[in-house]
Amino acid sequence: MEIECREVSKTFVDARRGRSGGVRALDRVSLKLESREILSIVGPSGCGKSTLLRILAGLIEPDSGTVIRSAEGDGRPSNALVFQEHALFPWMTVVDNVAFGLRMRGEGRRESAAKAGELLDRIGLAGFARRHPHELSVGMRQRVNLARAFLVDPKVLLLDEPFAALDAQTRLLLTGELLASFERSHKSVIYVTHDIEEAILVGDRVLVLSGRPARIIDEIPVPLARPRDMVVRADPRIGEIEARIWRQLESEVKRGLEATG
């Protein structure tokens, strides 16, 4: 087991109105991520998916419930969180951005730059190592962002809709690259996305969240063998799972609209 949360709840309180005017984001969410497992999470927009990831990453504390993370012990970070938008330092070159995590762990500049350069070569960005983020396309910047997370070799990758800002073709290409990276590295991953098909293609299981406050309303194993590539999109089982998830999300979205109407 890499991460487990038990009965986690979170309410964001409006300081002017007190707890009664707060927004309840999560309601007793429990989940477990096993070693080398990829867990996809989908849910209606604004339901609390990003809040859940930030709690799992240790960036914010839940109001109640428990989060258990595997012990570090070997010098590796327990997790690395990749946001929807890249968080690159604009004054740093691409190679320095990718090497940043290693530098913060105390590795020398030459050694960390060499490791970063090798990874950039594997993802097809070796020719951009000395460029700055503003000189890259949106898709390239997000690949650099992901490379930085991979290079520190965390036990768990937490991905918060990493390709949400990309066009469909670039998104498809990078999802395929990410699947190949997962196969090579055997990472444990929690992958939040609003794209149902993407969740199925990437995940070993898919958790479906309700509208806010988020609860887990379904857990679906994905019976697709690995390694996977984008060709498996033609598998009829994907369509069946997609329809099951969509029916539940449609119901949750309608419920939310009725509550605000």
Return all residues near 142 (Cβ < 8 A) that are at least 6 apart.
86, 162, 163, 165, 166, 174
Cα 200 from chain centre: 14
**What is the model's pLDDT at position 70?**
80
| pLDDT band at 42; cut points 50, 70, 90 | very high
| CB distance 244 to 220 below 8 Å | yes
**Eight-state DSSP code of residue 214:** B
Give the residue extent of every domain in the chain.
32-60+71-78+159-255, 89-153
- Average pLDDT of the residues of the chain: 87
**What is the model's pLDDT at position 73?**
56
Q: Residue 71: pLDDT above 90?
A: no
**What is the model's pLDDT at position 240?**
93
**What is the model's pLDDT at position 261?**
58
Of 156, 162, 169, nearest to 144 (Cα)? 162
Topology given in CATH for the domain delimited by 32-60+71-78+159-255: Rossmann fold (3.40.50)
Round to whole Å and give the CA distance between 206 and 199. 7
* pLDDT one-digit tens code per residue, 113-144: 999 999 898 888 889 999 999 999 888 898 89
**What is the model's pLDDT at position 162?**
85
Round to whole Å and give the CA distance between 112 and 102. 6
Q: How far is CA 3 from CA 71, 145, 154, 155, 158, in A?
A: 10, 23, 12, 10, 11
Round to whole Å and give the CA distance between 73 and 31. 23
Q: Which of 16-25, 49-58, 213-222 has the lowest mean pLDDT?
A: 16-25
pTM for the model stands at: 0.89
